[in-house]
Chains A and B, each alone.
Chain A
Amino acid sequence: MRITDRRFALLLMAPAAAFLAAFVLWPLIRFVSNGFFEISPIAGGPREFVGFDNFVAAFQSAAFQGASVRTVVYTLVVVVLEFTIGLGVALIFASLGARSAVFRTVFMYPLMIAPVVAGLLWRFLLIDNFGIVNELLRQAGILRSTSQIGWLSDPNIALFSVALPDIWLTTSFITLVLFAGLQNVPGDVIEAAKLDGARFPTLLFRIIIPLLRPVIAVALIVRGIDAARAFDIILIQTNGGPQESTTTLSLLIYRTMTRYGDPGLASAMGTIYLVAMLLVASVAIFAIWRPGSDR
């Protein structure tokens, strides 16, 4: 007896599909539906259907609005800095050609480090009194005293400071992806532009970046999604403080669920967050990536 190819394909996909249904889809459905209930934090406690009350409460809460803004700011800081540095380094690698191979390897190492380790390490580097960064800045004559910048204790700059380890950890990803993309930029196109007297900025903005567009889109979307979900790296550095200045949505949802014991409200917040992510990502995919437009 011979089964059709289509059935055979389904059979091969079935185990993975069943796994994702049981351990991603089903929990997710439960999470979203929890948003419509008032839930007692005690296991087996009462549940009461409250319609959209939790969603209204989420939108009206100052904590949620603040955390949403901070999530957007954090994501933008991470993505913009990573892209600028990542593209710069990728261009340097490409300009130096094959001789840069060893340096590309060295540049890659933070990718393998756990976010928790990166967060703790940077907290150690930036800590007010015995952090090495302020001490080196003082020795270089940039700071008068080591307490002049409170990287993680000054609410005005803490959101920027907590982004540093994330940038350190994953700029290499952008560099590697862009470098690989640069290998596919036809050399004669650039030679021709150079012969026409194009200077480097023209070359970069008129030729290289437009040609890299699909690669840039993938890199930015992947990193944007991950930065918007950042959790452990922030938790470990500041736990959301000082004065809530680094409480992003993932921290707020976690805290609402565990510490404030309001799973219903936390689920409503998480659902809004998820829907917003899907919308932004879809818009980004269609706006920058334009899959198939060049085929």
Chain B
Amino acid sequence: MIGIETNRASSRVLLWITLAVVLVIYGFPFIYLLLTSFKTPLDAIAVPPSVLPSQWTLENYVTALTKDGVAPALINSVVTAVLSTVFSLVLAVPAAYAITRYRTPSGRVFVLAALVTRMVPTIAVGAPLVETMRTLGLSDTSLGLAIAHTTISLPLSIWLMSSFFESVPDELEEAAKVDGASRLGALWRVVLPVVSGGLAVTAIFAFLASWNEFLFSLLLTSVRAQTTPIVIANFQTQFGLDWGGMTALAAVYSIPVILLTLALQRHIVAGLTLGAVKG
């Protein structure tokens, strides 16, 4: 990026200042959420509001986490997201491998179908799925919800894994086959270890898609399998206007994934930009 990079000191300073302003505006909402979660419940809705808590307390965290249904919802979120991630990878890896390695016409149809799936409004699949899950005896279960979430993450996973398989040279497997490995053996023992970074990225995106999903959870679960986004949304009706509790639970729900993302940020940037940049 030698071309765009600027060398003039004055324009550099100006750019840093602009960047700082943008980042402050961008970072403020979540920081304010964190600060509010440490206020007393009354302080959180004080008029006029103040940025900093007048008194720091963990009260909101205690009330939010001990509320009926919150702990089970957090467990449900983890179980559903893990199940859905496993389904996505198990189904997407062989499919993406076949699409990139054998380039059959059926593979191209498949990629197109995965792309179209992205355009379908969630309600168009979600509403009929309610009945399907009832027929399968999976109403209000984490398994049923995980299946529904997989309809979102599977096309994404196929898309991502295809990009990662593209970057593996054909010669690698050819060599393995010459050494007597079967096609499945070559995939399992030679190709998969090479794309392990890609597998991790795909797993994170599949996990996040389920972790943050709302409408399927709203339609397909009622009590037993309810996930946390629904509980967070219910903070406004079920328990009155408990903004303090809402911010505490939102912080508890968001911070693990934010930390995970920061830790793995290089891989995640690669995943986000892979498909797009290759065009």
Residues of A near any B CB (own CB < 8 A):
5-6, 8-10, 12-13, 15-17, 19-20, 23-24, 26-28, 30-32, 34, 85, 89, 91-97, 100, 103-117, 120-122, 124-125, 129-132, 135, 138, 146, 168, 173, 176-177, 179-191, 194, 208, 214-215, 217-219, 222, 225, 229, 231-232, 236, 249-250, 253-254, 257, 263, 266-267, 270-271, 273-274, 277-278, 281, 289, 291
Contact, CB under 8 Å: A109 / B30: yes
A-contacting residues, B40-63, CB 8 Å: 45-49, 51
A291–B11 Cα distance when bound, in Å, is 37
In the bound complex, CA of A176 to CA of B47 (Å)? 38
User: A232 touching B273 by the CB < 8 A rule?
Assistant: no
CB pair A116–B233 under 8 Å, yes or no, is yes
Q: Tell me the complex Cα distance, A218–B118, Å.
A: 13
**Interface size class for chain B?**
35 or more
Q: Is the CB of B129 within 8 A of A23?
A: yes
The answer on a CB contact under 8 Å between A263 and B229 is no
Contact between A177 and B277, CB atoms less than 8 A apart: yes
Complex Cα distance, B88 from A198, in Å, reads: 49
Q: Does the CB pair A254–B123 fall under 8 Å? A: yes
Question: Nearest residue in A to B16 (C-beta to C-beta)?
Answer: A96
Question: With A17-B110, A130-B47 in contact, is A257–B127 under 8 Å at CB?
Answer: yes
B94 in contact with A16 (CB, 8 Å)? yes
Contacts of B91 in A (CB 8 A): 15-16, 19
**Inter-chain contact A31/B125, CB cutoff 8 Å:** yes
A63 nearest CB across to chain B (Å):
16
Q: Are B116 and A278 in contact (CB under 8 A)?
A: yes
Q: How far is the CB of A185 from chain B (nearest CB, A)?
A: 7
* A residues in contact with B98, CB < 8 Å: 8-10, 12-13
Asked if B49 and A132 sit within 8 Å, CB to CB, the answer is: yes
Please, what's the 1-or-0 string for B67-111, where 1 marks a CB less than 8 Å from any CB in chain A? 000000000000000000001001110110111011010110010
- B94→A24 contact, CB < 8 A: no
Pairwise interchain contact A109-B258, C-beta atoms closer than 8 A:
yes
Cβ-defined partner of B94 (8 Å) among A13, A30, A176, A217: A13
Q: B123: shortest Cβ distance to chain A, in Å?
A: 5
- A132 with B51: CB separation less than 8 A: yes
Which of A222, A278, A289 contacts B279, CB < 8 Å? A289
B18 touches A (CB below 8 Å):
yes
The closest CB in chain B to the CB of A168 belongs to B29
